[in-house]
Amino acid sequence: MVQKNKVTLEDISRKINISRTTIYKILNNKGKVSEETRRIVLETVREMNYVPNQAAKNLALNKQYNIAFSGFNSPQTPYTLNNLLKGTDWAAEEFKDYGLNLIYSLIDRGNRGEQIREIYKLAESGVDGFAIFPSQVEPMKKCINDLVDMGKYVVTVNKDVPDCRRHLYVGCDYYKSGILAAEVLARMIPPGQEIAVFLGGEGIEHMDITERYRGLTKKIGRFPSIKLLPPFKYDGNDPDKIKHFLTALLSENQNLGGIFDLTYELDLISRIVNKYNNKVRLVGFDLCDSVKNHMISHSIDAVVFQDMPAQGYLAVKHLYQFLSDSATAEIREESTKLEVVYEGNLEFYI
Amino acid sequence: MVQKNKVTLEDISRKINISRTTIYKILNNKGKVSEETRRIVLETVREMNYVPNQAAKNLALNKQYNIAFSGFNSPQTPYTLNNLLKGTDWAAEEFKDYGLNLIYSLIDRGNRGEQIREIYKLAESGVDGFAIFPSQVEPMKKCINDLVDMGKYVVTVNKDVPDCRRHLYVGCDYYKSGILAAEVLARMIPPGQEIAVFLGGEGIEHMDITERYRGLTKKIGRFPSIKLLPPFKYDGNDPDKIKHFLTALLSENQNLGGIFDLTYELDLISRIVNKYNNKVRLVGFDLCDSVKNHMISHSIDAVVFQDMPAQGYLAVKHLYQFLSDSATAEIREESTKLEVVYEGNLEFYI
DNA sequence: TTGTAAGCGTTATCAT
DNA sequence: ATGATAACGCTTACAA
C-alpha cells in the first residue's frame, strides 16, 4: 500500500501515555515540563516523524491579522500599481482562510501627502502590518519609524525608503536591473558603435534611475568596443526637449547603435527612432501598454522587467508570516527576479 | 475598526433557525431540500456574504490523495529531472497538510522500459494520479490510455505524449521557444550576416527539437537581412562530428554571425567558437551547469529557459485539484513561461 | 425533508 | 508539572 498515515499528537500521546497537551507544550515551549518527560517526548516525536498539521493549527488559532497595502496611483502610469495589486490580491486570496485581512489604501499621486495621513489613521484603527509603496521617499522615513515604534511591521514595496527602520524591502535591485539592460543592449550593438542614454530625475527620490545608470556605466566597461555617449538629462517637464535632442542625434550621428531609456518615455522615443532610423536598438524598462505595442511592431527591441505582481505578493506574504509566526525577519531585503522581455515571450507578461 | 468578522455556517444557522447541516447540503448540492428553505438559505448566504473556510474543510475531509511523479534520469543531463523535482517538492510541501501524498518513481535512462512497468505497479497499489515525465513517447501512449481507463488522472510533464487520452500536458511550447530564441539571436546579428543551426534528433521522440527548428525558420523570416544556413544534422553519437563541421565553418565562413544550437551540446560548441572567433553570437536552450559557466565568461550570449520547477509544481498541483475537487479539467494544455537568461540575470535562475 | 452529534488535529483554559 | 476538556468551521453518518 502506498498510503503512509500522518502522525498526530494523539498518536504520540497514545503511544507513550502522555497527554496531547503536555506534548503540545513541549513542542511549542509553553509552560513548565519536567526534564524527564521532555526527553521522552522529543525522542518519540522524532522517531515517529511527527509533522504538525497547519490546517488544524490555523483553524484552532482562528485569529485575524489586519494588513494594509498603501500605494499611490498616477494617471500616466497605472501600470506599476495595478501590477502590484495583482500580487497582493493573490496573497489575500491565498491566506484569507488563515486569518489574513487585507485592507487597501490607495491615493492619487496628486495628493501625495494623503498617503502618510492615511497610514497613521490605519495604524490607529488596528492594522498590524503595512506594505508601503511610497509616493515620496524622504517624508516617509519618519512615518515608518513611528509605525515601528508602535510595534507594527513594515515592508516597503517596489521602491525602498533607505535609512529607516522598516523590516523588509521587497523589490528589484535597480543597479542589477541597469546591468542587465546594458548587457542586453550591448550584445545587439556591433563593435565601434555608440550608445545614447536618456536620463530621468536624479536624487534620493529617483534612486531607480540613478542606480540603473550606475549599472549601465559599470557593465558597458566589459564591452570595450562600445562607446557610451554623455547622457541627455531630462527634467520630466517638456517631452519636446527629448524630441528635439533625439531628432538631432539621429540625423547627425551616423554611428549611433543603440538607445538606453531611463526616462519612462519609451513610447515617445520609440516613435521618433522609428521615423528616422530603424536600425538603432532600443532597450528600456517595464511593460506598460504602449511599450507592448512597440514590441509587437519590433520598434522596441527588448525591455527589462521586474516582476511587480511577485513583489506585491511577497510583501503581503511576508507580513502575514511575521504576524502569524511572530518570528522576526532574518532578511532585510528581498530582491525579485529580473527578466528580459522580447516580442517572443511578451504573451507571458500580460 | 478594521476587522470584518468572517461569517460561518453557524452564524447563518442562528440567524434563520435552520441547521448548519441543511445549509451545508444546499450549498454543496447534497441530499434533498425543499424549495422554500433553499430559497431562504441562498438569499441569506448571499446577503451575509458567506465564504467557506478552506482550512476547516480540509481538516474535516482528512482524505489522502496518492499522486505519483514518474520520471527518468540521464547521467549527462540530470538538469531537467532535478529541476522538475524542485517544483514537485514545493507542491508536496504546500499540500501535505491537505491530504497530498506524493510518491516518486525515478528510473535511469538506461532502462527506459522500467518506467512503464513501474507505473502499472503504482496504479495497482492505489495511486490516484500520475505526473509523467516520459522517457519514451511512443510506448507510453498505451500505458496512459490504460491509466485513464482505470479512472486515474494523468498529466504529462515537460514532454508531451500526443494522441493519447492524458488529461493535461504541462510544459513549454517548443515552437514558441524556437521563435523566441530566434528573435534573441537575430537582434544580435548585423544585417547581411548568416546563422548556422546545429540540429539534433528528429521524429516523434524529438518533438522539442523539430518544433524549435520550425519556430526558428518561421521567425527568421521577419529579419530579411539575415540568412539561415542549411542545418547541420547531428545524430547524437560522435561529438567529434560537430567539432569538425564547426571548425571548418568558422575558418571558411567569414560571414557567420551567429549559431543556434539544438543539439544540447552547447558546452562543446561554445568552447570551439571561443577558440576560433569570439564575435559569433551563440544562443541555445536550458541552463545546465556548463552553460552557466560559459555565460559568466560571456562565451554564450543568451539562453532561452523554460521554467521546469514551475512545470513540476503545476503538474502536481493540478493533479491534486483534479482529485480533491473532482472537477474535470477544462484545459488540456498548460504552456509555461519562456524566459531569456543572460549573464546579468543568471543569478535568479540557479 | 431536516436535524443531531461525532470527528478532523491543534490550541487554550482551567482544574488537579 | 500534567491532563481533561472545549473550542475553531466544516463534513457526514445516522436519527427523527
- Residue A19, CB, less than 7 Å from strand D? yes
Which CATH number belongs to the domain containing residue A35 in this structure? 1.10.260
Question: Coil, strand or helix: which one is A61?
Answer: helix
Task: Please tell me the total count of domains within chain B.
Answer: 3
Q: Report the Cα A73 to chain-centroid distance in Å.
A: 16
A301 at B interface, C-beta within 8 A: yes
CATH number for the domain including A240? Answer: 3.40.50.2300
Are A231 and A107 part of one and the same domain?
A: no
Distance from CA of A342 to the nearest CA of B (A): 7
- Which residues make beta-bridge pairs with A163? none
Sheet containing A153-157: order of strands: A100-108, A65-73, A129-132, A153-157, A168-171, A333-335
Q: Read off the pLDDT of residues B308-335 as tens digits, 9 standing for 90 and up.
A: 999 999 999 999 999 987 666 678 999 9
Task: State mean pLDDT over B82-109.
Answer: 94
Q: Is residue A57 one of the residues assigned to a domain?
A: no
* Inter-chain CB proximity B344 and A183 less than 8 Å: yes
In a domain, B13, yes or no: yes
Find cell 538538469 and name the residue.
Answer: B79
In a 13 Å sphere around the CA of B317, the CA atoms on its Cβ side amount to 14
Average pLDDT value for residue range B265-275: 92
* A225-228: long-range pairs with CB below 8 Å, 24+: A225/A191, A225/A192, A226/A186, A226/A189, A226/A191, A226/A192, A226/A193, A226/A194, A226/A195, A226/A257, A227/A193, A227/A194, A227/A195, A228/A194, A228/A195, A228/A197
Q: Do both A149 and A243 map to the same domain?
A: no
Question: Could you identify the residue written with the cell 501512449?
Answer: B141
Domain that holds residue A180: 174-307+342-348
For residue A32, give every residue at least 6 positions away whose Cβ sits within 8 Å of its Cβ, in sequence order, or none. Answer: none
Cell 431562504 found at: B40
Q: Cell 543603440 identifies what position? A: A258
Please give the torsion angle defined by the CA atoms of residues B100, B106, B112 and B114, in that order, rounded to the nearest 10 degrees.
-70
Are A324 and A292 part of one and the same domain? no
A185 found inside a domain: yes
Per-residue confidence (pLDDT) for residue B123, from 0 to 100: 93
Q: CB of residue A10 closer than 7 A to nucleic acid strand C?
A: yes
pLDDT in tens, B17-34: 999 899 999 988 888 888
The residues, ordered by sequence, that sit 6+ positions from B196 with a Cβ below 8 Å of its Cβ are B229, B231, B232, B249, B253, B256, B258, B259, B260
Closest C-alpha among A323, A318, A286, A308 to residue A131: A318
Give the C-alpha separation, B5 to B226, whole Å. 64
Q: How confident is the model at residue B237 (pLDDT cuts 50, 70, 90)?
A: confident
Q: CB burial class (10 A; 0-12, 13-18, 19+) of residue B86? A: middle
Give the range among A302-311, B80-89, B92-101, B154-163 with minimum mean pLDDT. Answer: B92-101
pLDDT of amino acid A1: 44
Q: Give the model confidence (pLDDT) of B44-68 as tens digits.
A: 989 898 888 988 998 898 888 999 9
Q: Do A259 and A297 belong together in one domain?
A: yes
Flag whether pLDDT at B216 surpasses 80.
yes
Query: How much is the pTM?
Result: 0.92
What pLDDT, on the 0 to 100 scale, is given for residue A5? 66
A281: left (phi over 0), alpha (psi -120 to 50) or beta: beta
The answer as to whether B57 is a domain residue is no
Examine the domain organization and report whether B203 and B141 are in the same domain.
no
Q: Given A33, A52, A71, which residue is the final one in a domain?
A: A52
All three cell numbers of B215: 519556430
Distance from CA of B109 to the nearest CA of A (A): 24
The reported pLDDT for the residue numbered B178 is 98
pLDDT in tens, B168-209: 999 999 999 999 999 999 999 999 999 999 999 888 889 999
Dump pLDDT digits (tens) for B238-265: 999 999 999 999 999 989 999 999 998 9
- For B178, the enclosing helix (H) or strand (E) is helix B174-187
Task: Give CA–CA dist B245/B138, Å, rounded.
Answer: 32
Same domain flag for B190 and B301: yes
Q: Same domain for A320 and A244?
A: no
Q: Distance, in angstroms, between A96 CA and closest chain B CA?
A: 8
Residues A295 and A179 in one domain: yes
> Is residue A3 in a domain?
no
Q: What is the pLDDT along chain A (350 residues), one digit of tens a residue?
A: 455 568 899 999 999 999 999 999 998 888 888 899 999 999 999 989 898 898 899 889 888 899 999 999 987 678 899 999 999 999 999 998 888 999 999 999 889 899 999 999 999 988 999 999 999 999 999 999 999 999 999 999 999 999 999 999 999 999 999 999 999 999 999 999 999 999 998 888 899 999 999 999 999 999 999 999 999 999 888 999 999 999 999 999 999 999 999 998 999 999 999 888 668 999 999 998 889 999 998 899 999 999 999 999 999 999 999 988 766 667 899 999 999 999 999 999 88
Among chain B residues, CA nearest to A215: B344
Within this chain, do residues A147 and A179 fall inside the same structural domain, yes or no? no
Domain shared by B240 and B294, yes or no? yes
Residue A262 confidence (pLDDT): 95
Q: Are residues B215 and B162 in the same domain?
A: no
Residue A137 resides in a domain: yes
Assess if residue B179 is contained within a domain.
yes
Instruction: Give A14-73 pLDDT, tens digit per residue.
Output: 999 999 999 999 988 888 888 999 999 999 999 898 988 988 998 898 888 999 999 999
What is the rounded distance in angstroms from the CA atom of residue B257 to the CA atom of residue A117? Answer: 58
Q: What is the mean pLDDT of residues B142-163?
A: 96
Per-residue confidence (pLDDT) for residue B68, from 0 to 100: 97
B327 touches chain A (CB under 8 A): no
Listed by number, the residues of chain B in 239-298 with a beta carbon closer than 8 Å to a beta carbon of chain A are: 279, 281, 298
Out of B1, B302, B345, the one facing A126 most closely (by C-beta) is B1
pLDDT value, residue B1: 44
Q: Which of residues 100-119 of A touch B (CB under 8 A)?
A: 101, 103
Radius of gyration of chain B (CA): 26
- pLDDT of A350 reads 81
Q: What is the pLDDT of residue A324?
A: 86
Please state whether strand C lies within 7 Å of residue A20 at its CB atom: yes
Q: Give percent above pLDDT 90 in chain B.
A: 71
Inside any domain, residue B2: no
Looking at the fold, whether A264 and A183 belong to one and the same domain comes out as: yes
